[in-house]
Structure 1
Amino acid sequence: MTPTAAPLDILLLPTWLVPVEPAGVVLREHGLGIRDGRIAFIGPRAAALKLQAAEVRELPGMLLSPGLINAHGHAAMSLFRGLADDLPLMTWLEKHIWPAEAKWVDEAFVRDGTDLAIAEQLKGGITCFSDMYFYPKVASDCVHNSGMRAQIAIPILDFPIPGASTADEAIRQGIELFGDLKHHPRVNITFGPHAPYTVCDANLEKIRVIAEELDAAIHMHVHETAGEVQQAVEQTGERPLARLSRLGLLGPRFQAVHMTQISEDDLVLLVESNTSVIHCPESNLKLASGFCPVERLWQAGVNVALGTDGAASNNDLDLLGETRTAAMLAKAVAGSATALDAHRALRMATLNGARAMGLDTEIGSLELGKAADIVAFDLSGLAQQPIYDPVSQLIYATGRDCVKHLWVAGKQLLDDRRLTRMDEQQLTATAVAWGRRISGQHE
């Protein structure tokens, strides 16, 4: 870009700029320019200062990176945060979460819970998230109004769920919502069969056919626990991933969430199909579900992205904290201190998430022409000093309270830690009121 080009809308001048692609690069004293919601300039500070810009923001002591991408969660479940802690997965689901959902989940619950989750994620540096929960149209409206970016997975199960009495009804709703939003700049609709143990072959085949026709992704919990895999083998003689492969679901648009149990045959299927794995380490740890072998997958060439899961099993939507946990856990599981280094961990939380969602040409790295989904982390605090490698400091020594500014498609949604389009006090009051209702204080 030359100084005679059209003026920039905003020029950002951080101490460090980490584009993620190319891998491992840290640019010092560089500027990034945004025009019409896209990255229009990246270059040395001296060249940046010669450009015309409607606004210039000096960001001393800050690291600019692509916005974090939370590749798996259940946003509205933020209203169930802490409701049923310290329980194994199936007890947690069958005795607590599913009954609570049957009693409380309606459109108002999903709207208020999703708004709460969006605000928490924006304040934590997340610019894009994947959501898999009931009343997906309500969730997509929340995303639209917030200015955030999201993938909305239509939940599909063999039994009635809030908002859909049959799998066919859920699929029909998904097709309609896909059609309504296919040109939306920030919302992608995908299909979300819940898990192999809750969706039969016939419904999975319907989903595969429709997803192929629409070129839509499929997002599904797979191999979350050893018990799930063992039960499937005992009942059918087939591992769940092998079944999904036989039914033709695996492929570059398939997102396999959790994958804590991976045999050699499973690994071959993942590699050959180019399936993405979504790793949710903290939820898996808290529910004692198992460990996804991230380094083994990475070295085999599998795209591994990162998700928080829902706040009912995490209990936060802190992807920066999740990234640190992922990096630490990967080393312990691999038995190697070099597994999942800080730069690769950041890539997993950004570009790999974009790739899993089929959005890697649009977001996930700071490159010319991509959407300006950007976060500024403040590394000037005492706990971050001294700084030898700012990316290591970000992953291993920085919390989400250091998120200072955030932009989605060039629109600033967080300015000096303040949400620009959402009322934090009102969101807090609404969440407190839900908590009182659900706990029985005001029935």
Structure 2
Amino acid sequence: MTATMVRARHLITRTLDRHTHEQFDDAALIQEDGIVTAIGAWDDLRARYPDMTVLGSGQEVVLPGFVNGHHHVGLTPVQLGSPDMPLELWFITRLLCRNVNLRLDTLYSAFEMLASGVTTVQHIHGWIPGTLNDVEAASNAVIGAYEEIGMRVSYCFALRDQNRLVYQADQDFVASLPEALQGPMARHFARFRMSLDDNFDLFRHLRARHEGKERVRVQLAPANLHWCSDAALTKLAEVSAGEDVPMHMHLLETAFQKEYAARRGGCTAVEYIDRFGLVTKNLTLGHGVWLSEKDIDRLAEVGACVCHNCSSNFRLRSGIAPLNRLEARGVTTAIGTDEAGINDDRDMLQEMRMVLRAHRTPGVGDEVPTMQQVLRMATAGGARTTAFEGRIGTLEVGKAADLVMLDWQQVAWPFLDEATPVLDAVLQRAKMGGVRATMVAGEVLYQDGRFTRVDQDAALKALHEDLSKALTTDEVERRGLSKALLPHVRQFYEGYFDPGTHQPFYRQNSMA
């Protein structure tokens, strides 16, 4: 049996409501074989277990490990040459990204997540070309990298079976292009050879392979409404309900997606997928920027969740999600860094501050995010959106020993008024450099700037060398295709709204 006593100046175990949380001062936590077995005063627990290994000096703040509820890739799009643009145009620039080594790429972002206190990640994978065997190998490479570094991963492969580049059928889009682009575009689409049934075979193969593992779970991921046919939505609902499997679905990220839903079904996107039985407690919506009041009521009614990707929404000009309305209705919310945060990294401490500040509507009311709410979003709220629900997200006896230790000196130096609440200080002042340790299932994976399982320097050097190679023929063709397609795609979306309706459409969704 492995056992550790985690010592804390301040031990914050969970939030209780929007304004209160549970906090123990001069305290300790005991983990045995990855499970929290005791929480109490430091002096009392040390007297009971005088020989137990101690983690911490007594000058740290200990919190539940953070959950990154929406994540995709390692190297950021900017690093790979894809600049921030409106989402629908940004999809085109993503064509030029390199073919990366998935193990090294996954480790790259895992380093950043662990260093900012993230212990669990919802990894939403996609856009892997090839057959079922190819995609399954890629999926296992990503999961394997998380296993190698020790993080928890709730993995899902995003199902796409239509409209893979613009909000139009693939064959119709190809036919709309100049003849010189039709061949290259058709060849690009032909690279993706997974059938609808293959997607569900992939899900079942991955679940069987990783069943029983403490740190791996497998979910479903309908990619987005425009990416899923009615047949796909039907099958996803059946499998999720039949096997009680969580689903994570991008939805209503942009105004264009809201308009697409109206054209497809004469209703909102939430109302459309509800026709197929997808809107249940198993559903998490990624983004949800353009939800209506009625949509929010429906999500609250069934107990569905929304993962808020604040930085991504700003970077890709998607809008501001109605977080305050979601919270007021009691919808469970989480936080995700998506492709990358505002600083082009996966710093969860920074992302929590983004959420805290982005929704501070004018006035003196109490509807704006509180410290406790944001902490809950990054911990228990995120846990609720994964297949680890009930096991992580709070520090309680019987739950997993997933936690982050922050240096109080970094938060409080050179001065902090003693009247400032500890949680307020942490959420507004803690920096990535102040993370002293990150623990998953009782195992320290990151401590004092170093990773315990993987040589970070060697991994980053290998990643650099891998991407220093010459472009492949496929990469060269995709780069040329991306550049040539952009004006045609821009033209497609410039005419997407009827004259005079686009601007009011944005104004009516000013809920912050």
**Same fold, TM exceeding 0.5?**
yes
Cα 1:80–1:156 shift into 2, 3 Å = farther
Does the residue aligned with 1:377 lie in a helix, a strand or coil?
Answer: strand
Of 407, 416, 432 in structure 2, the residue corresponding to residue 385 of structure 1 is 416
Q: Is the CA contact (8 Å cut-off) linking 1:298 and 1:304 kept in structure 2?
A: yes
- In 2, the alpha carbon distance for the partners of 1:368 and 1:281 equals 32
Q: TM-score, normalised by structure 2?
A: 0.79
1:148 maps onto 2:151 in alignment: yes
1:10 maps onto 2:7 in alignment: no
Equivalent AA in structure 1 for residue 123 of structure 2: D
- In 2, the alpha carbon distance for the partners of 1:17 and 1:210 equals 40
1:359 maps onto 2:388 in alignment: yes
Does the residue aligned with 1:71 lie in a helix, a strand or coil?
Answer: strand
CA displacement at 1:81 relative to structure 2: 3.4
Matching residue of 2:14: 20
1:405 maps onto 2:408 in alignment: no
Matching residue of 1:260: 289
CA displacement at 1:129 relative to structure 2: 0.3
CA displacement at 1:144 relative to structure 2: 1.8
Of 55, 59, 62 in structure 2, the residue corresponding to residue 61 of structure 1 is 59
- 1:69-128 deviation digits (Å, cap 9, x = unpaired): 00001034547636222311111112x11x235xx44xx622221111111111111000
Equivalent AA in structure 2 for residue 152 of structure 1: Y
- Select the structure of larger CA radius of gyration: 2
Cα 1:126–1:67 shift into 2, 3 Å = same
- In 2, the alpha carbon distance for the partners of 1:439 and 1:400 equals 34
Identify the range of structure 1 (412-421 vs 350-359) with the bigger mean alpha-carbon deviation: 350-359
Of 419, 422, 428 in structure 1, the residue corresponding to residue 460 of structure 2 is 428
Q: Is the CA contact (8 Å cut-off) linking 1:405 and 1:415 kept in structure 2?
A: yes
Of 351, 356, 372 in structure 2, the residue corresponding to residue 343 of structure 1 is 372
Matching residue of 1:3: none
Equivalent AA in structure 1 for residue 112 of structure 2: E
Equivalent AA in structure 1 for residue 96 of structure 2: A
- In 1, the alpha carbon distance for the partners of 2:292 and 2:71 equals 25
Matching residue of 2:96: 100
CA displacement at 1:231 relative to structure 2: 2.5
Cα 1:384–1:376 shift into 2, 3 Å = farther
Q: Is the CA contact (8 Å cut-off) linking 1:32 and 1:42 kept in structure 2?
A: yes
- 1:37-71 deviation digits (Å, cap 9, x = unpaired): 11111001221111224302343331100001000
Where in structure 2 are there 5+ consecutive unaligned residues? 127-137, 163-188, 477-512
Matching residue of 1:42: 39
Q: Is the CA contact (8 Å cut-off) linking 2:226 and 2:260 kept in structure 1?
A: no
Matching residue of 1:227: 256
- RMSD over aligned Cα atoms: 2.4
Does the residue aligned with 1:296 lie in a helix, a strand or coil?
Answer: helix
Cα 1:377–1:164 shift into 2, 3 Å = farther
Cα 1:112–1:264 shift into 2, 3 Å = same
1:33 maps onto 2:62 in alignment: no
Equivalent AA in structure 2 for residue 276 of structure 1: C
Does the residue aligned with 1:26 lie in a helix, a strand or coil?
Answer: strand
Where in structure 1 are there 5+ consecutive unaligned residues? 1-6
- In 1, the alpha carbon distance for the partners of 2:268 and 2:434 equals 43
Does the residue aligned with 1:315 lie in a helix, a strand or coil?
Answer: coil
Of 220, 223, 239 in structure 2, the residue corresponding to residue 191 of structure 1 is 220
Matching residue of 1:117: 109
Identify the range of structure 1 (423-432 vs 37-46) with the bigger mean alpha-carbon deviation: 423-432
Q: Is the CA contact (8 Å cut-off) linking 1:40 and 1:368 kept in structure 2?
A: yes
CA displacement at 1:275 relative to structure 2: 0.6
5 Å matches for 1:265-276?
265-276=294-305
Q: Is the CA contact (8 Å cut-off) linking 1:70 and 1:128 kept in structure 2?
A: yes
- In 1, the alpha carbon distance for the partners of 2:318 and 2:362 equals 14
Equivalent AA in structure 2 for residue 10 of structure 1: T
Does the residue aligned with 1:19 lie in a helix, a strand or coil?
Answer: strand
- In 2, the alpha carbon distance for the partners of 1:9 and 1:149 equals 20
Cα 1:330–1:358 shift into 2, 3 Å = farther
- In 1, the alpha carbon distance for the partners of 2:150 and 2:265 equals 45
Does the residue aligned with 1:322 lie in a helix, a strand or coil?
Answer: helix
- In 1, the alpha carbon distance for the partners of 2:192 and 2:21 equals 45
Q: What's the % identity of the aligned pairs?
A: 24
Matching residue of 1:179: 208
Q: Is the CA contact (8 Å cut-off) linking 2:81 and 2:96 kept in structure 1?
A: no
Cα 1:163–1:139 shift into 2, 3 Å = farther
CA displacement at 1:208 relative to structure 2: 1.5
Cα 1:162–1:407 shift into 2, 3 Å = farther
Equivalent AA in structure 2 for residue 396 of structure 1: Q
Cα 1:367–1:312 shift into 2, 3 Å = closer
- In 1, the alpha carbon distance for the partners of 2:27 and 2:191 equals 50
CA displacement at 1:130 relative to structure 2: 0.5
Q: TM-score, normalised by structure 1?
A: 0.91
Matching residue of 2:317: 288
- In 2, the alpha carbon distance for the partners of 1:407 and 1:425 equals 21
Does the residue aligned with 2:5 lie in a helix, a strand or coil?
Answer: strand
Q: Is the CA contact (8 Å cut-off) linking 1:39 and 1:368 kept in structure 2?
A: yes
